[in-house]
Amino acid sequence: MDLGIAGRKAIVCASSRGLGKACARALAEAGCEVVINGRDAKTLNATAGEIAGLTGAKIIPVVADVATPEGQKALFAACPQPDILVNNNAGPPMRDFRELGRAQMLEGVTANMIVAIELIQKAIEPMLSRRFGRIVNITSGAVKAPIAGLDLSSGARAGLTAFLAGIARTTADKNVTINNLLPGQFDTDRLRGNLSKVAETKGKSIAQVAADHIASIPARRFGDPAEFGAACAFLCSAQAGFIVGQNLLIDGGKFPGAF
């Protein structure tokens, strides 16, 4: 399918690896010029070269921490008027909520709620004036099914979801959509790191822990990041203008709800 976004300009946050990288690649494959972002210059530049080589698209790497004003300024210096914005940021580590101090809670809310809102504030006016914009926020399957120990991440991302739900309805008439992608367990470096920690804690092998997790997923496998990237690219497509304020859960069927 021709997604109708060739020539569009995109910013994909936290895209040097994992699901952000998959989204950046899918948008590049659709013909977009993509600004990718990360904090490690070596990894980021390697990713830029890889995606450019595979797709022939223009890929602009921006080394920056998007949680900071300086990082956000660097992103928009590289792409002052994006047509597409994909918000992505790592969540806080697993921790019992009793251990969270105020500073840690504020840091988590900033990273997983406020930063996305700030970036949308910067991007949305040009989108509205051009009557085209696609904003996709990568949140988490934990928004629908909270996970003990990830309460801060779940709460902050749920807050972002609620904050943007009403806003999405105010921009849709200008062909500017805001939607959310909720990943379950995908085969990424982050997942493998989490499996390793669980294995160490439980005294099991990583293979055993992975098998336990897979057994709880009806699809009986972890997700392929390329699948996630393709879903993101579709939400950014010309054909997705009637999808407004939605939460697309991609978890292999693990969440048992009907809605």
pLDDT (tens digit per residue) in 195-212: 888 888 889 899 999 999
What mean pLDDT comes out for the span 29-45? Answer: 97
What mean pLDDT comes out for the span 70-84? Answer: 97
What mean pLDDT comes out for the span 111-138? Answer: 97
Q: 197 Cβ partners below 8 Å, 6+ apart?
A: none
Q: DSSP letters along the chain, please?
A: ---S-TT-EEEESS-SSHHHHHHHHHHHHTT-EEEEEES-HHHHHHHHHHHHHHH---EEEEE--TTSHHHHHHHHHH-SS-SEEEE--PPPPP--GGG--HHHHHHHHIIIIIHHHHHHHHHHHHHHHHT-EEEEEE--GGGTS--TT-HHHHHHHHHHHHHHHHHHHHHGGGTEEEEEEEE--BSSHHHHHHHHHHHHHHT--HHHHHHHHHHTSTTSSPBPHHHHHHHHHHHTSGGGTT--S-EEEESTT-S----
pLDDT at residue 150, as a whole number:
86
Contact 117, 135 (CB under 8 A): no
Percent of the chain, pLDDT > 90? 85
Helix (H, G, I), strand (E, B) or coil at 187: coil
Whether residue 95 is predicted with pLDDT greater than 90 in this model: the reply is no
Domain locations in the chain?
A: 9-186+225-250, 187-222
Confidence band (pLDDT; 50, 70, 90) for 93? confident
pLDDT at residue 85, as a whole number:
98
Whether residue 131 is predicted with pLDDT greater than 90 in this model: the reply is yes
Whether residue 96 is predicted with pLDDT greater than 90 in this model: the reply is no
Phi/psi at 79 (nearest 5 deg)?
Answer: -150, 85
Q: Judge if pTM exceeds 0.85.
A: yes
Q: What is the mean pLDDT of the chain?
A: 95
Facing residues of 176 across strands?
Answer: 133
What mean pLDDT comes out for the span 147-176? Answer: 94
pLDDT at residue 90, as a whole number:
81
259 vs 4, higher pLDDT: 4
pLDDT at residue 91, as a whole number:
80
Whether residue 186 is predicted with pLDDT greater than 90 in this model: the reply is yes
Question: What is d(CA 152, CA 158) in angstroms, rounded to the nearest whole number?
Answer: 10
pLDDT at residue 161, as a whole number:
97
Whether residue 147 is predicted with pLDDT greater than 90 in this model: the reply is no
The third-level CATH classification (topology) of the domain covering 9-186+225-250 is Rossmann fold (3.40.50)
